[in-house]
Amino acid sequence: MQIGPYSFPNPVALAPMAGVTDRPFRQLCRRLGAGLAASEMITADTRLWGSRKTRQRLDHRGEPAPIIVQVAGGDPDMVADAARHAVDRGARIVDINMGCPAKKVCNRAAGSALLRDEALVGRILDAAVAAVPVPVTLKIRTGWAPESRNGLRIARLAEAAGVQALAVHGRTRACRFGGEAEYDTIREICEAVRIPVLANGDIDSPRKAARVLELTGAAGVMIGRAAQGRPWLFREVVHYLGTGTVLEPPTMAEVRAIMLDHLDRLYAFYGEKTGVRVARKHLGWYLKDRPDAAPFKHRIVRVEAAAEQYRLVAEFLDKAPSEELAA
Protein backbone atom coordinates (compact mmCIF):
# COMPACT_ATOMS: atom_id res chain seq x y z
CA MET A 1 0.00 0.00 0.00
CA GLN A 2 1.28 3.46 -0.95
CA ILE A 3 0.55 6.84 0.67
CA GLY A 4 2.48 9.64 -0.97
CA PRO A 5 6.14 8.54 -1.10
CA TYR A 6 5.67 5.90 1.59
CA SER A 7 5.19 2.20 0.95
CA PHE A 8 3.67 0.07 3.70
CA PRO A 9 4.29 -3.67 4.08
CA ASN A 10 0.61 -4.55 3.86
CA PRO A 11 -2.79 -2.82 3.65
CA VAL A 12 -3.96 -3.74 7.17
CA ALA A 13 -4.04 -0.73 9.50
CA LEU A 14 -4.62 -0.27 13.21
CA ALA A 15 -7.39 2.29 13.74
CA PRO A 16 -6.45 5.21 15.99
CA MET A 17 -8.43 4.89 19.24
CA ALA A 18 -8.07 7.43 22.04
CA GLY A 19 -7.12 5.77 25.28
CA VAL A 20 -6.21 2.52 23.52
CA THR A 21 -3.64 2.89 20.75
CA ASP A 22 -0.81 4.33 22.79
CA ARG A 23 2.82 3.69 21.83
CA PRO A 24 3.07 0.29 23.59
CA PHE A 25 -0.06 -0.99 21.84
CA ARG A 26 0.95 0.43 18.45
CA GLN A 27 4.36 -1.22 18.71
CA LEU A 28 2.75 -4.51 19.69
CA CYS A 29 0.30 -4.42 16.78
CA ARG A 30 3.03 -3.48 14.29
CA ARG A 31 5.17 -6.37 15.56
CA LEU A 32 2.18 -8.69 15.13
CA GLY A 33 1.46 -7.68 11.55
CA ALA A 34 -0.25 -4.27 11.31
CA GLY A 35 1.08 -2.46 8.26
CA LEU A 36 0.51 1.04 9.65
CA ALA A 37 -0.63 2.68 12.86
CA ALA A 38 -1.35 6.33 13.65
CA SER A 39 -1.06 8.05 17.00
CA GLU A 40 -3.96 8.54 19.34
CA MET A 41 -5.91 11.67 18.49
CA ILE A 42 -4.06 14.91 19.36
CA THR A 43 -5.89 18.18 19.92
CA ALA A 44 -5.21 20.86 17.31
CA ASP A 45 -4.82 23.38 20.13
CA THR A 46 -1.04 23.36 20.46
CA ARG A 47 -1.31 25.42 23.66
CA LEU A 48 -2.30 22.13 25.31
CA TRP A 49 0.61 20.12 23.96
CA GLY A 50 2.57 20.65 27.14
CA SER A 51 0.26 18.37 29.10
CA ARG A 52 1.61 14.98 30.09
CA LYS A 53 -1.13 13.18 28.16
CA THR A 54 -0.38 14.97 24.90
CA ARG A 55 3.38 14.60 25.34
CA GLN A 56 2.88 10.86 25.68
CA ARG A 57 0.64 10.75 22.63
CA LEU A 58 3.38 12.49 20.66
CA ASP A 59 6.05 10.04 21.86
CA HIS A 60 6.94 7.78 18.93
CA ARG A 61 10.36 6.61 20.07
CA GLY A 62 11.18 3.17 18.75
CA GLU A 63 8.33 3.06 16.21
CA PRO A 64 8.95 2.20 12.56
CA ALA A 65 8.83 5.04 10.05
CA PRO A 66 6.89 6.82 8.75
CA ILE A 67 5.40 8.32 11.90
CA ILE A 68 1.69 9.12 11.54
CA VAL A 69 0.15 11.71 13.86
CA GLN A 70 -3.61 12.22 14.01
CA VAL A 71 -4.93 15.72 14.71
CA ALA A 72 -8.47 16.77 15.66
CA GLY A 73 -9.85 20.29 15.59
CA GLY A 74 -12.47 22.52 14.04
CA ASP A 75 -10.50 25.66 13.20
CA PRO A 76 -8.53 25.66 9.92
CA ASP A 77 -5.69 27.81 11.25
CA MET A 78 -5.32 25.72 14.39
CA VAL A 79 -5.33 22.46 12.44
CA ALA A 80 -2.72 23.85 10.05
CA ASP A 81 -0.56 25.01 12.97
CA ALA A 82 -0.92 21.62 14.67
CA ALA A 83 0.09 19.88 11.45
CA ARG A 84 3.25 22.02 11.25
CA HIS A 85 4.10 21.30 14.88
CA ALA A 86 3.52 17.57 14.34
CA VAL A 87 5.92 17.56 11.38
CA ASP A 88 8.48 19.46 13.44
CA ARG A 89 8.22 16.64 15.99
CA GLY A 90 8.80 13.90 13.44
CA ALA A 91 5.45 13.23 11.78
CA ARG A 92 5.80 12.18 8.16
CA ILE A 93 2.05 11.75 7.60
CA VAL A 94 -0.59 13.94 9.25
CA ASP A 95 -4.03 12.39 9.65
CA ILE A 96 -7.07 14.60 10.25
CA ASN A 97 -9.78 13.11 12.47
CA MET A 98 -13.33 13.70 11.26
CA GLY A 99 -14.57 10.30 12.37
CA CYS A 100 -14.58 10.30 16.16
CA PRO A 101 -18.19 10.07 17.45
CA ALA A 102 -17.39 10.84 21.10
CA LYS A 103 -19.62 13.55 22.58
CA LYS A 104 -16.76 15.45 24.20
CA VAL A 105 -15.06 15.71 20.80
CA CYS A 106 -18.20 16.54 18.82
CA ASN A 107 -19.27 19.13 21.39
CA ARG A 108 -16.07 21.00 20.54
CA ALA A 109 -17.02 21.03 16.84
CA ALA A 110 -14.36 18.46 16.00
CA GLY A 111 -14.27 14.81 14.98
CA SER A 112 -17.36 13.63 13.13
CA ALA A 113 -19.26 16.80 14.12
CA LEU A 114 -17.42 18.51 11.27
CA LEU A 115 -19.29 16.41 8.72
CA ARG A 116 -22.30 18.69 9.21
CA ASP A 117 -20.39 21.61 7.67
CA GLU A 118 -18.90 20.65 4.32
CA ALA A 119 -17.57 24.15 3.65
CA LEU A 120 -15.63 24.07 6.92
CA VAL A 121 -14.32 20.61 6.08
CA GLY A 122 -12.96 22.00 2.83
CA ARG A 123 -11.26 24.94 4.56
CA ILE A 124 -9.66 22.70 7.17
CA LEU A 125 -8.30 20.28 4.58
CA ASP A 126 -7.06 23.07 2.31
CA ALA A 127 -5.25 24.66 5.26
CA ALA A 128 -3.69 21.41 6.47
CA VAL A 129 -2.47 20.34 3.04
CA ALA A 130 -0.99 23.77 2.36
CA ALA A 131 0.73 23.89 5.75
CA VAL A 132 2.98 20.85 5.53
CA PRO A 133 5.29 19.19 2.99
CA VAL A 134 4.14 15.68 3.98
CA PRO A 135 1.04 13.67 3.01
CA VAL A 136 -2.21 14.58 4.74
CA THR A 137 -4.79 11.83 5.22
CA LEU A 138 -8.34 11.88 6.53
CA LYS A 139 -10.52 9.65 8.72
CA ILE A 140 -14.30 10.06 8.32
CA ARG A 141 -17.63 8.35 8.79
CA THR A 142 -20.31 7.96 6.12
CA GLY A 143 -22.06 11.07 7.38
CA TRP A 144 -23.49 12.82 10.40
CA ALA A 145 -26.75 10.83 10.57
CA PRO A 146 -28.59 8.23 8.47
CA GLU A 147 -30.60 11.01 6.83
CA SER A 148 -27.39 12.91 6.07
CA ARG A 149 -24.93 10.48 4.49
CA ASN A 150 -22.54 12.89 2.84
CA GLY A 151 -19.39 10.80 3.03
CA LEU A 152 -19.17 10.68 -0.75
CA ARG A 153 -19.14 14.49 -1.04
CA ILE A 154 -16.61 14.73 1.79
CA ALA A 155 -14.37 12.23 0.02
CA ARG A 156 -14.46 14.26 -3.18
CA LEU A 157 -13.69 17.43 -1.21
CA ALA A 158 -10.73 15.66 0.38
CA GLU A 159 -9.30 14.48 -2.91
CA ALA A 160 -9.71 17.95 -4.42
CA ALA A 161 -7.88 19.46 -1.43
CA GLY A 162 -4.90 17.17 -1.95
CA VAL A 163 -5.57 14.59 0.76
CA GLN A 164 -3.61 11.48 -0.20
CA ALA A 165 -5.54 8.70 1.54
CA LEU A 166 -8.88 8.23 3.24
CA ALA A 167 -10.17 5.90 5.96
CA VAL A 168 -13.94 5.46 6.15
CA HIS A 169 -15.83 3.98 9.07
CA GLY A 170 -19.01 2.53 7.62
CA ARG A 171 -21.44 4.21 10.00
CA THR A 172 -22.72 7.72 10.57
CA ARG A 173 -21.85 9.64 13.72
CA ALA A 174 -25.40 9.17 15.02
CA CYS A 175 -25.09 5.39 14.63
CA ARG A 176 -21.89 5.36 16.71
CA PHE A 177 -21.09 1.61 16.78
CA GLY A 178 -24.63 0.26 16.48
CA GLY A 179 -26.16 -1.57 13.56
CA GLU A 180 -24.20 -2.91 10.62
CA ALA A 181 -21.40 -1.17 8.77
CA GLU A 182 -22.40 0.33 5.40
CA TYR A 183 -19.99 -1.34 3.04
CA ASP A 184 -22.07 -0.24 0.06
CA THR A 185 -21.44 3.39 0.98
CA ILE A 186 -17.73 2.73 1.30
CA ARG A 187 -17.81 1.13 -2.15
CA GLU A 188 -19.42 4.25 -3.62
CA ILE A 189 -16.63 6.32 -2.12
CA CYS A 190 -13.94 3.98 -3.45
CA GLU A 191 -15.42 4.21 -6.93
CA ALA A 192 -15.63 8.01 -6.80
CA VAL A 193 -12.03 8.86 -5.84
CA ARG A 194 -8.60 7.82 -7.03
CA ILE A 195 -6.81 8.06 -3.69
CA PRO A 196 -6.42 4.92 -1.53
CA VAL A 197 -9.39 4.20 0.74
CA LEU A 198 -9.24 2.06 3.87
CA ALA A 199 -12.49 0.36 4.89
CA ASN A 200 -13.24 0.38 8.62
CA GLY A 201 -16.02 -1.11 10.73
CA ASP A 202 -16.84 -4.60 12.08
CA ILE A 203 -13.73 -6.27 10.67
CA ASP A 204 -13.14 -8.96 13.27
CA SER A 205 -11.67 -11.94 11.39
CA PRO A 206 -9.46 -12.75 8.41
CA ARG A 207 -12.41 -13.91 6.33
CA LYS A 208 -14.36 -10.76 7.19
CA ALA A 209 -11.41 -8.62 6.10
CA ALA A 210 -11.28 -10.40 2.74
CA ARG A 211 -15.03 -10.09 2.34
CA VAL A 212 -14.97 -6.36 3.10
CA LEU A 213 -12.25 -5.79 0.51
CA GLU A 214 -14.36 -7.72 -2.01
CA LEU A 215 -17.53 -5.77 -1.17
CA THR A 216 -15.96 -2.32 -1.13
CA GLY A 217 -13.05 -2.43 -3.55
CA ALA A 218 -11.00 -0.63 -0.88
CA ALA A 219 -7.22 -0.49 -0.99
CA GLY A 220 -7.00 -1.83 2.54
CA VAL A 221 -8.76 -2.40 5.83
CA MET A 222 -8.55 -0.66 9.19
CA ILE A 223 -9.15 -2.68 12.35
CA GLY A 224 -10.04 -1.11 15.68
CA ARG A 225 -12.09 -2.66 18.48
CA ALA A 226 -11.55 -6.24 17.30
CA ALA A 227 -7.82 -5.91 18.01
CA GLN A 228 -8.40 -5.07 21.67
CA GLY A 229 -7.25 -8.20 23.45
CA ARG A 230 -6.39 -9.82 20.11
CA PRO A 231 -3.42 -7.93 18.64
CA TRP A 232 -2.37 -11.10 16.79
CA LEU A 233 -5.47 -10.58 14.61
CA PHE A 234 -3.32 -8.45 12.28
CA ARG A 235 -0.95 -11.24 11.29
CA GLU A 236 -3.91 -13.59 10.85
CA VAL A 237 -5.57 -11.13 8.46
CA VAL A 238 -2.34 -10.45 6.55
CA HIS A 239 -1.71 -14.19 6.19
CA TYR A 240 -5.23 -14.89 4.95
CA LEU A 241 -5.19 -12.02 2.44
CA GLY A 242 -1.86 -13.24 1.11
CA THR A 243 -2.49 -16.99 1.01
CA GLY A 244 -6.21 -17.65 1.33
CA THR A 245 -5.48 -19.98 4.24
CA VAL A 246 -6.23 -19.59 7.93
CA LEU A 247 -3.20 -19.15 10.17
CA GLU A 248 -3.07 -21.24 13.31
CA PRO A 249 -3.90 -19.16 16.39
CA PRO A 250 -1.06 -18.33 18.76
CA THR A 251 -0.19 -20.93 21.35
CA MET A 252 -0.99 -20.31 24.98
CA ALA A 253 2.74 -19.85 25.60
CA GLU A 254 2.90 -17.14 22.95
CA VAL A 255 -0.21 -15.39 24.27
CA ARG A 256 1.36 -15.41 27.72
CA ALA A 257 4.56 -13.89 26.35
CA ILE A 258 2.62 -11.22 24.41
CA MET A 259 0.55 -10.22 27.42
CA LEU A 260 3.47 -10.04 29.83
CA ASP A 261 5.59 -8.09 27.34
CA HIS A 262 2.67 -5.69 26.92
CA LEU A 263 2.54 -5.18 30.69
CA ASP A 264 6.28 -4.48 30.84
CA ARG A 265 5.98 -1.91 28.07
CA LEU A 266 3.05 -0.18 29.76
CA TYR A 267 4.94 0.12 33.05
CA ALA A 268 8.00 1.49 31.27
CA PHE A 269 5.99 4.00 29.22
CA TYR A 270 3.61 5.34 31.86
CA GLY A 271 5.43 4.63 35.11
CA GLU A 272 4.11 2.25 37.73
CA LYS A 273 0.96 4.01 38.95
CA THR A 274 -0.54 4.91 35.58
CA GLY A 275 0.89 1.82 33.88
CA VAL A 276 -0.93 -0.49 36.28
CA ARG A 277 -4.20 1.36 35.73
CA VAL A 278 -3.90 1.38 31.94
CA ALA A 279 -3.00 -2.30 32.03
CA ARG A 280 -6.30 -3.15 33.74
CA LYS A 281 -8.42 -2.37 30.71
CA HIS A 282 -6.11 -4.28 28.39
CA LEU A 283 -6.24 -7.28 30.72
CA GLY A 284 -10.02 -7.06 30.64
CA TRP A 285 -9.94 -7.26 26.84
CA TYR A 286 -7.43 -10.12 26.79
CA LEU A 287 -9.55 -12.10 29.24
CA LYS A 288 -13.05 -11.16 28.08
CA ASP A 289 -13.78 -14.59 26.61
CA ARG A 290 -12.38 -16.57 29.53
CA PRO A 291 -15.29 -18.14 31.42
CA ASP A 292 -13.21 -18.48 34.59
CA ALA A 293 -11.69 -15.01 34.57
CA ALA A 294 -14.37 -13.05 36.48
CA PRO A 295 -12.96 -13.66 39.98
CA PHE A 296 -9.46 -12.92 38.75
CA LYS A 297 -10.52 -9.66 37.06
CA HIS A 298 -12.32 -8.60 40.23
CA ARG A 299 -9.11 -9.17 42.17
CA ILE A 300 -6.70 -7.60 39.68
CA VAL A 301 -8.51 -4.22 39.60
CA ARG A 302 -7.58 -3.67 43.25
CA VAL A 303 -3.85 -4.22 42.70
CA GLU A 304 -1.74 -1.05 42.66
CA ALA A 305 1.82 -2.43 42.41
CA ALA A 306 3.26 -3.36 39.02
CA ALA A 307 5.22 -6.32 40.36
CA GLU A 308 2.14 -7.80 42.02
CA GLN A 309 -0.03 -7.25 38.95
CA TYR A 310 2.56 -8.88 36.72
CA ARG A 311 2.97 -11.84 39.10
CA LEU A 312 -0.77 -12.45 39.41
CA VAL A 313 -1.26 -12.32 35.64
CA ALA A 314 1.64 -14.73 35.06
CA GLU A 315 0.28 -17.15 37.66
CA PHE A 316 -3.22 -16.98 36.20
CA LEU A 317 -1.96 -17.65 32.68
CA ASP A 318 0.20 -20.54 33.87
CA LYS A 319 -2.98 -22.26 35.05
CA ALA A 320 -4.87 -21.67 31.81
CA PRO A 321 -5.65 -24.64 29.54
CA SER A 322 -3.47 -24.52 26.44
CA GLU A 323 -6.39 -24.08 24.03
CA GLU A 324 -7.91 -21.04 25.76
CA LEU A 325 -7.20 -17.33 25.25
CA ALA A 326 -5.61 -17.77 21.83
CA ALA A 327 -8.86 -18.39 19.96
Catalytic site positions: 100
In whole angstroms, give the CA distance from residue 117 to residue 55: 30
Q: Hey, what amino acid is at 9?
A: P
**Cα torsion at 288, 292, 297, 303 (round to 10°)?**
-140
Q: Hey, what amino acid is at 49?
A: W
Burial class, 217, CB count within 10 angstroms (exposed 0-12 / middle 13-18 / buried 19+): middle
Give SS3 for 177. coil
Please name every residue paired with 145 in a beta bridge, in sequence order, or none if there are none.
Answer: 148
First-to-last C-alpha distance (Å) of the chain: 29
In whole angstroms, give the CA distance from residue 221 to residue 237: 10
Residue 308, C-beta contacts closer than 8 angstroms, at least 6 positions apart: none
DSSP state of 167: E
Please name every residue paired with 166 in a beta bridge, in sequence order, or none if there are none.
Answer: 138, 197
What number of helices (H) and strands (E) belong to the chain? 13, 11
Instruction: Output helix, strand, coil percentages for the chain, rounded to the nearest 5.
Output: 45, 15, 40
DSSP E strands, the chain: 2-3, 6-7, 12-14, 36-37, 42-43, 68-72, 93-98, 136-143, 165-172, 197-200, 220-223
